Chain A
Amino acid sequence: MTKPADFPPPFRAADFVAAPSDPQDERIEVGVLIVGAGPAGLACAIRLGQLLEDAREVRERLGEVPVAVLEKGKQVGSHLLSGAVVNPRALRRLFKGRKRIDEMPFYGPVAHESVYFLTKQNALRIPAPPTMRNDGNYVASLSRLGRWLAEQAEEAGAMLLPETAAEKLLVSDGRARGVRTGDKGRGRDGQPLGNFEPGADLVAKVTVLAEGTQGHLTGVALDRFGLAGENPQVWALGVKEVWKVARPLDRVIHTMGWPLRPGAKYREFGGSFIYPMGEDMLTLGMVVGLDYRDVELSVHDLLQELKTHPLVRKLLEGGERVEWGAKTIPEGGFLALPKQLHAPGLLICGDGAGLVNVPALKGIHYAIESGSLAAEAAFAALQRGQTPATPGALSVYDDALKQSFVWKDLYEVRNMRPAFGRGFVVGGALAGAMTATKGRFPRRDLQLERDVDVDLIRTDRAKSYPAPDGKLTFDKLSSVFAAGNKTRDDQPNHIVIRRDVPPDLAELWERMCPAQVYEATETGVDVTPSNCVQCGAITAKGGRLTPPESGSGPEYKLT
């Protein structure tokens, strides 16, 4: 059968690199430009604010707007989605002496936790693997935490610019100079409409890419500056719902097994999570590695199926779905990290860099830590009076990251994700050995395979997806609605794919996309871009997501 890599998207990273083009007097200048108002970008802004507090001279050198943060969503938090159980370590360091954990918008510490192995009808409680233990961690809505962080960043003097997508990376003389923001008000064929508003050049002394998973300019920068590492990045797709429930949940739950299949040939790596959100809400989600093979696999519909399991159904009884969302997670970990995370004038942090610990299901504290370290590196360079664009001026960031707990954590578990490419049983056994040896086993590192290079198969798994009843189980369009997505329909298509693909690939995309963007047709595939919630799965599986008009996409509040 075919594989997605046989039909690469007509995308060239070089098209998204440009020299500043606005006349000198029209360019907007800021000191440090942070792309992405997620945990990494906002931590960076907050840390910079702290450092600039006592450094008037440096602050003045940075001009009228010392720190700016771009956010492509309608509001900060609109595109933030995670489980999430947060390790507070990086937040404690960032807010040391300023804010306590109990002042942050958490749903409380993890009180109890259970891990189950599911079969269709039963749930077998198993001991939590050591990597998954959550003592001392806190449950959060990342969207909500992001809004709170944004308030802190604004108080620290950063300027937040929502509804502003970074479309091109500005580079001249081999140095990153900032970004060009996306145009607004174009029609379906790209023609300017009556209210057309062109993008603008935003130039900065340092540009920090904190774009999260599938960062558009992060991908462009890795290509432009030759930063890609030895192994490719791989991703998983997570789909989650927030429910208002009749009875509070008293613990965090993770499940493995059903509805995923253990056989090595399926390559279905993943599981589910169910977390309490206070007295009257919970969130549940399904995560599946995008190296799966079955064209009929749909993470959206697997989550619907999961909800019909007695264990889960019971928790949701009498409840009501209030929100839905989806996002990819970089899963390559240590092996897939770029060669370096800086280039002249440029720093890369958070999920965009791939700083995620898959066995621990954690990345937010790495994002925050890397954002803080990026701020410190940028500040140090600016303070020395160095031009941060000078090659090597920002290398201290990579050094600091290597000294940090981020590096140590990721190193120890580096081979676990690829091990699960060999199936659940073998993968589980190998992972156990890796944990016991703190990552010294295996002696030779495993290799990652690109998600697009995996051969497709077809099984008849789609017939077990439950029919949507509008109460417990939902169709994709209802889910898109529950994401708050009301994107303008007549804007240009932002999804780059081949349209003339064979039926198997068309169906793969149709099933894979949780937001019903793709539809297999007789001649290939049709696209409804306004449904897109920008999860990024298409980039992993044979296409390329680019930023649509700023302010488009989901409007998450509780995810």
Chain B
Amino acid sequence: MSTLVFLEHHGHELLKGSLGVLSKAAAFADADVAGVVIGSKVRALADQAGKFGAPKLYVADDARLEAPLPQPRVDVLAQLVRDKGIDTVLFGNSVLAADVAAGLAARLDAGLNWDLADLVQQDGKLVGKRPALQDSVYVDVGWKSEPRIALFRSGSFDPVAAGGSAQVEDVAVALEDFSTSARMVDQAHEESEGPSIEDAPVIVAGGRGLGGPENFTLVEELAKALGGAVGATRAVVDAGWYPYSTQVGQTGKTVSPKLYIACGISGAIQHKVGMQSSGVIVAINKDTNAPIFEFSDLGVVGDVHEVVPRLTELVRARKAS
């Protein structure tokens, strides 16, 4: 299996999601894995790529590749896949990676399976695991031909620093006219306000168990300490405790952060369908029979007014040390 992992970068860092996919690929028994970095002045990223499991790294370094736009990347990848006889191309999901993966699929008439949570070898075949219908079912998907393209859900795999180094090979860059017709004219990176609820890696959400709108500060403080966003249930939004834009659930937002901390939330199905695909769910509720405990990884039967502020303190103390 000759596998290529698309390593996306932002600033001078490879994205954790890409590195997780790289580590996953490196763990396959018969893996012949290479990474690819596409951008401008990106050769320095080779160290990082090697450390997380890429014995080989293709580097497409060109000023025309500076802006994070998909189509020039499709050109580079298509050429590379053809030249090197690569049979499997893996992506960690992002706005950019999804567009690159789909463009590449069309260019090469290659099968793309997306939103995968895992990839396994089964009876000599590669099988992707795709959660569907609010994760109530996992669909086993595969490829009828090579090359195969897979796009993984963000956060599916943890990066593992194996500590190797990558052999770098430069790639010639030839771009199609239409691929360069879109131009980046400005990039504004907002860091100040904290992540939005859709993108946040951590969500701390509050429900009626908080007792009153004033207690949402407990939730806000914990979210801040964890670098996350605040969510709310329909009941508290209805009651006017918190704005509608934070409502998680059937008639609000559907979220899948790596960590979801539910504070004083009973876990009605209307809420569940909006957050059940979160990576890890922690629930704090004083009602031991609350349905939320049926789908949390860690359930704490306790008083949110005591547990949450103490947890905030502990998280702060840990970060400070």
Contacts and interface: CB of A to CB of B under 8 A. Distances in A.
Judge A-B direct contact (beta carbons within 8 Å): yes
Given A486-B251, A487-B251, A489-B244, A481 B270 contact: yes
A470 B235 CA distance: 21
A489 B269 contact: no
A486 B252 CA distance: 10
A242 to B, nearest CB: 17
B234 interface: yes
Contact of A530 (B239, B251, B269): B251
A513 to B, nearest CB: 15
B291 interface: yes
Contacts of A530: 234, 238, 251
Nearest to B272: A481
A467 B287 CA distance: 14
Nearest to A526: B239
Interface in A460-505: 467, 470, 475, 477-478, 480-481, 486-490
Main secondary structure of the interface of A (DSSP, over half): loop
A489 B238 contact: yes
Contacts of B239: 526
A486 B268 contact: no
B244 A478 contact: no
A404 interface: no
Given A470-B291, A528-B238, A489 B251 contact: yes
Q: Which of A481, A489, A490, A530 has the most CB of B within 10 A?
A: A489
A490 B244 contact: yes
A486 B247 CA distance: 14
B237 interface: yes
Contacts of B291: 470
B213 to A, nearest CB: 15
A481 B251 contact: no
A490 B250 CA distance: 14
Given A470-B291, A481-B250, A530-B251, A489 B234 contact: yes
B269 A478 contact: yes
Nearest to B240: A188
Interface residues of B, number: 17
B244 A477 contact: no
B95 to A, nearest CB: 26
A528 B208 CA distance: 14
A479 to B, nearest CB: 10
Contacts of B235: 528
B269 A477 contact: yes
Given A489-B251, A490-B244, A481 B269 contact: yes
B5 to A, nearest CB: 39
Contacts of A477: 268-270
A342 to B, nearest CB: 41
A558 B52 CA distance: 53
A480 B235 CA distance: 15
Contact of A489 (B247, B268, B294): B247
B249 to A, nearest CB: 9
A489 B251 CA distance: 7
B151 to A, nearest CB: 29
Contacts of B294: 470
A488 B234 CA distance: 11
B318 to A, nearest CB: 37
A533 to B, nearest CB: 14
Contacts of B250: 481, 486
Nearest to A489: B251
A551 to B, nearest CB: 13
Contacts of A488: 251
B243 to A, nearest CB: 11
Contacts of B268: 475, 477-478
Nearest to A481: B269
Nearest to B271: A477
A467 B289 CA distance: 10
Nearest to B294: A470
A440 B135 CA distance: 62
Interface string A507-524: 000000000000000000
A187 B289 CA distance: 35
Contacts of A489: 234, 237-238, 244, 247, 251-252
B131 to A, nearest CB: 20
Contacts of A487: 251
A251 to B, nearest CB: 33
Nearest to B238: A528
Interface in B266-321: 268-270, 273, 289, 291, 294
A480 B247 CA distance: 18
Contacts of B289: 467
Nearest to A479: B269
B254 to A, nearest CB: 12
Interface in B225-270: 234-235, 237-239, 244, 247, 250-252, 268-270
Among A477, A487, A488, A528, chain B packs the most CB atoms within 10 A around the CB of A477
Contacts of B247: 489
A221 B269 CA distance: 40
Nearest to A477: B268
B185 to A, nearest CB: 28
Contacts of B273: 481
Nearest to B234: A489
A489 to B, nearest CB: 5
Contacts of A470: 291, 294
A400 B266 CA distance: 56
Contacts of A475: 268
A481 B289 CA distance: 20
A470 B293 CA distance: 13
Nearest to B250: A486
Contacts of B270: 477, 480-481
A241 to B, nearest CB: 15
Name the residue among B235, B244, B251, B289 with the largest chain A CB count within 10 angstroms.
B251
Contacts of B252: 489
Contacts of B244: 489-490
Interface in A238-287: none
B83 to A, nearest CB: 50
Contacts of A526: 239
17 contacts: A470-B291, A470-B294, A475-B268, A477-B268, A477-B269, A477-B270, A478-B268, A478-B269, A480-B270, A481-B250, A481-B269, A486-B250, A487-B251, A489-B237, A489-B244, A489-B251, A528-B235
10 tightest A-B CB contacts, nearest first: A477-B268, A481-B269, A478-B269, A489-B251, A486-B251, A486-B250, A528-B238, A490-B244, A481-B270, A489-B234
Given A489-B237, A530-B238, 14 more contacts: A470-B291, A470-B294, A477-B269, A478-B268, A478-B269, A481-B269, A481-B270, A486-B250, A486-B251, A489-B238, A489-B244, A490-B244, A528-B235, A528-B238
Interface of B: 234-235, 237-239, 244, 247, 250-252, 268-270, 273, 289, 291, 294
